[in-house]
Amino acid sequence: MEFKDILVVTAHLRAKPGKENELRTALEQLVQECGHHEGLLLYSVHQDTSDPASFLFYEHYLSEKAFKDHLASDELKNAAKVFSELVEGESKIETWHMASRIGEICQ
């Protein structure tokens, strides 16, 4: 497989006011719980340094099927219940294909 075949996903979430720390903890837990998903190469969550209520998932999948399986997983279904109490508004999810890169992809 070439790196250009990898599906890259970004997901932007915003914590409800005063829920930043709770959301961060829930997101960190979700990352750990999803580590076994087949076809998931990289799954990381980031918190904005200038806006602690803003979070970004950066994800790499071997295929669109692997991404869809991830979305349908029990871990994501359970997290959705928790996130409804912690996330403000809708998450913005975007999909990408790499055009160029240097360095290794984490596994």
The domain that holds 39 is classified in CATH as 3.30.70.100
| pTM given for the model | 0.89
Answer whether residue 103 is part of any domain: no
Question: Which stretches of 1-107 are assigned E, i.e. beta strand?
Answer: 7-14, 40-47, 54-61, 92-97
Provide the mean pLDDT of the chain.
Answer: 92
Answer whether residue 102 is part of any domain: no
pLDDT (average), residues 8-26: 97
Six token digits for residue 48: 């904005």
Answer whether residue 12 is part of any domain: yes
Question: Residue 45's CB: how many other CB atoms inside 10 A?
Answer: 18
Is a pLDDT exceeding 80 seen at residue 103?
A: no
pLDDT (average), residues 69-82: 95
Q: Which of 73, 31, 32 is nearest to 56 (CA)?
A: 31
Q: What is the pLDDT of residues 48-68, one digit of tens each?
A: 999 999 999 999 999 999 999
Answer whether residue 66 is part of any domain: yes
**Domain residue limits at 68:** 3-97
Would you state the pLDDT for residue 1? 63
